[in-house]
Structure 1
């Protein structure tokens, strides 16, 4: 770096306060957003600008002493990075550099003009890099803290009360009150991949939590981007499921999508269902990927998942019973007789078309078709669950 003569250094010392005042005037005039900042933030920016000019003059006066431009930002609290963006900070640095570059050569002997310009531009470049480093460190720390809050919120959904889960989610930035569902994937993600996944989720939904647990990643989605008044409508639920399917398809490994629940306070139910589905997944070798937790009800039930028993009763047993005993009896008989329409008709003393009609009604009402082997298994287990629930205690 070029060195200045002693008279040039002395001249810069004399002009230091003028350079500072002119830099602050230029900042005020050139950046309208500066006046919208809180008074405390403006004061901190002024302090940074003063220190920047002072450190430049000090570095010129003592070129053998190593100067760290990052120290300029030590006088401003980290909170300032949340008020002033990196782009705005670089605009401020450029403004101060411009003023010093324009005026400093005029106060030193002519022989030092070029050297002053080189020193100003070099110091300004170093300050710009230092600012970028400060913001990068803050962003990294903020990202790590946000990830920690999300992990705590997800853990609360698994282990704490519904109210505590909602509170923890709110602390992690959850704002919506609409439907929620969970996705669990058996895959390992590093910090960068996790950040990308979080960013992708937020392109589609209002709220999301992403948490890595060993070799699994958990995603909680909520508040699909629909009008507020439709936040809990069936359309919003369908949209949320569509988004979940899209996100799940992009994840590696086995992926299970939990059922939609009414809000973040009930998010633990969807998450526990998805985790139970992932544990029970080996029981269904032909399962699609991704797969819904409710499609794994037989395996979850056999694995001892209490939510599976509640879910199969709510989704299948109760609707089937509401249709009347004839329909439940028809399904039970059809399944017991190996799926034969004719044998079922003879056993019930009805025409085969009547059996076919009843089975169609059941399929339309419950969503499970007794003539499909997989659906038939769900219906069979639903009937068993209902009978056990209604059996007198021994």
Structure 2
């Protein structure tokens, strides 16, 4: 039996205030970080120490009454979860426990001292578990709220103005500037997988937003990167990091184009989502794949943004090279990629056709002699012709 006699309980009551004061003195002397806290948090922590000792004596006085150790922290939840860490809180508990273990047994008759020590250690163990539980609940609530803010920011990028998107992203913790990229993927992630994904994203990029939807996940990356190769531009480095993140996802993933900043993130995100919806049209698509590599499928799927992008990325640079190059590409693709037929139609030598096609590849990055690149170039030619027809 660990119950104490009434004289022992009365002795603890008399020693209670002294023990409390000694606990507060021990906290102040043993923890330098405590002395640097503002006065309000320090006073709240003192309340926790006082209540802890008082609850222990109450428990000893009436052992049949259930005591909830977590109630100790109800007097200062902000101080314990917003100002100091769980490790620091447990250090405070140990300091208070040390004082009570040293002094409480000395306050009671000698034959009761071992019982008091056992009661103190048991109560201290329960308080430690209660502290961990309090912090876990706060972390869970904070994580749920942060996830909600991130989802609201992503929705703003999709539907609201660039200014609103920037504001929402800031509310979700986005603090940097510089290029931004979006990733859209089909993936079913449980809470642990989402936590791991978010932690990895924050390890490789200063800013990130992760929004999990039904059967899909959206990731926005930006800010400074943890790794950037010498001579590598921030845009190229961010695209490389996005590819690494996308490879970790268990499902089809599409990487949007890198944009100048978070205000333009919606463009990258809309491209990535459109690519994800159209990805089935290209059975041989790599995984992950860039949204700009899915421009033909996006066009056929009714993506208006794809018209702008294929015009800007392909059609406009091709047109700027001059009529001979544009005509050579269009003719070569229309004639089934035949050098000889193209040369005869244009009344030039086949080597001239090769030269012009090579220059186009160097200048705009797509190779007309490649089946996939040729498909993209052919679509760009058609889009340009339709646009010219509308203007006439």
Q: Under TM normalisation by the shorter chain, which class is it?
A: over 0.9
Structure 2 matches for 1:258-269, cutoff 5 A? 258-269=256-267
Q: TM-score, normalised by structure 1?
A: 0.96
The aligned counterpart of 2:382 is 384
Q: State how far apart, in whole Å, the 1-side matches of 2:35 and 2:169 are.
A: 35
Q: State how far apart, in whole Å, the 1-side matches of 2:102 and 2:273 are.
A: 65
Structure 2 matches for 1:195-214, cutoff 5 A? 195-214=195-214
SS in 2 for 1:223: strand
Unaligned runs of 5+ in 1: none
The aligned counterpart of 1:45 is 45
The aligned counterpart of 2:338 is 340
1:256·1:293 contact (CA, 8 Å) conserved in 2?
yes
1:78·1:138 contact (CA, 8 Å) conserved in 2?
no
The aligned counterpart of 1:184 is 184
Q: TM-score, normalised by structure 2?
A: 0.97
Q: Deviations over 1:258-292 (max 9, x none)?
A: 11111111111111111111111111111111111
2:41·2:79 contact (CA, 8 Å) conserved in 1?
no
SS in 2 for 1:96: helix
The aligned counterpart of 1:89 is 89
Q: State how far apart, in whole Å, the 2-side matches of 1:309 and 1:182 are.
A: 19
2:281 aligned with 1:296: no
Q: Deviations over 1:107-160 (max 9, x none)?
A: 110001100110110000000000000000000000000000001001111111
Structure 2 matches for 1:271-286, cutoff 5 A? 271-286=269-284
Structure 2 matches for 1:220-299, cutoff 5 A? 220-225=220-225, 235-299=233-297
SS in 1 for 2:233: helix
Moved more, 294-303 or 333-342: 333-342
SS in 1 for 2:183: strand
Moved more, 93-102 or 280-289: 280-289
User: 1:78: how far off?
Assistant: 3.4
User: 1:248: how far off?
Assistant: 0.7
1:226·1:236 contact (CA, 8 Å) conserved in 2?
no
| C-alpha distance 105-255 of structure 1, shift in aligned 2 (>3 A) | same
Q: State how far apart, in whole Å, the 2-side matches of 1:347 and 1:120 are.
A: 97
SS in 2 for 1:269: helix
Q: State how far apart, in whole Å, the 1-side matches of 2:74 and 2:258 are.
A: 48
User: 1:77: how far off?
Assistant: 3.0
Q: Give aligned pairs, total.
A: 390
| C-alpha distance 117-226 of structure 1, shift in aligned 2 (>3 A) | closer
The aligned counterpart of 1:330 is 328
Which of residues 352, 371, 374 is equivalent to 1:373?
Answer: 371
The aligned counterpart of 2:349 is 351
| C-alpha distance 255-391 of structure 1, shift in aligned 2 (>3 A) | same
Q: Deviations over 1:233-268 (max 9, x none)?
A: 961111111111111111112111111111111111
Q: State how far apart, in whole Å, the 1-side matches of 2:110 and 2:40 are.
A: 40
SS in 1 for 2:63: coil
2:330 aligned with 1:310: no
Q: State how far apart, in whole Å, the 1-side matches of 2:102 and 2:338 are.
A: 94
The aligned counterpart of 2:58 is 58
1:224·1:239 contact (CA, 8 Å) conserved in 2?
no
User: What is the aligned-residue RMSD (CA, Å)?
Assistant: 1.5
Q: State how far apart, in whole Å, the 2-side matches of 1:104 and 1:312 are.
A: 79
1:257·1:292 contact (CA, 8 Å) conserved in 2?
yes
User: 1:209: how far off?
Assistant: 0.6
The aligned counterpart of 1:147 is 147
Q: State how far apart, in whole Å, the 2-side matches of 1:29 and 1:371 are.
A: 77
| C-alpha distance 135-226 of structure 1, shift in aligned 2 (>3 A) | closer
SS in 2 for 1:247: helix
2:150·2:172 contact (CA, 8 Å) conserved in 1?
yes
1:97·1:120 contact (CA, 8 Å) conserved in 2?
yes
Q: State how far apart, in whole Å, the 1-side matches of 2:196 and 2:70 are.
A: 29
| C-alpha distance 238-79 of structure 1, shift in aligned 2 (>3 A) | farther
